[in-house]
Amino acid sequence: MPKLKTKSSAKKRFKISARGKVLSAQAGKRHGMIKRTNSQIRKLRGTTALSKQDGKIVKSYMPYSLRG
């Protein structure tokens, strides 16, 4: 059986936590910062966990991640 390929876009954008959750950057920080308040920008720092349904899809793109 041949090896499965990992989607390069997924491996650059997502990370699997130790408990198996999929982590990604907060949405809404790409452009339009002038419209947002400083408190909104501060709250969008760091990472967030994807929902269970979205995480399943992302994990299918990364077949050899530690917590598959």
Other beta carbons within 10 Å of 44: 15
Write down the pTM of the prediction.
0.82
List pLDDT tens digits, range 13-59: 999 999 999 999 999 999 999 999 999 999 999 999 999 999 999 99
CATH of 8-61, one of 3.10.310.10, 3.10.20.30, 4.10.410.60, 3.30.420.40: 4.10.410.60
- pLDDT at residue 14 in the model: 96
> In this predicted structure, what is the pLDDT of residue 65?
87
**What is d(CA 37, CA 41) in angstroms, rounded to the nearest whole number?**
6
Tokens of 59: 């994990």
- What pLDDT was estimated at residue 6? 93
* Residue 66 confidence (pLDDT): 72
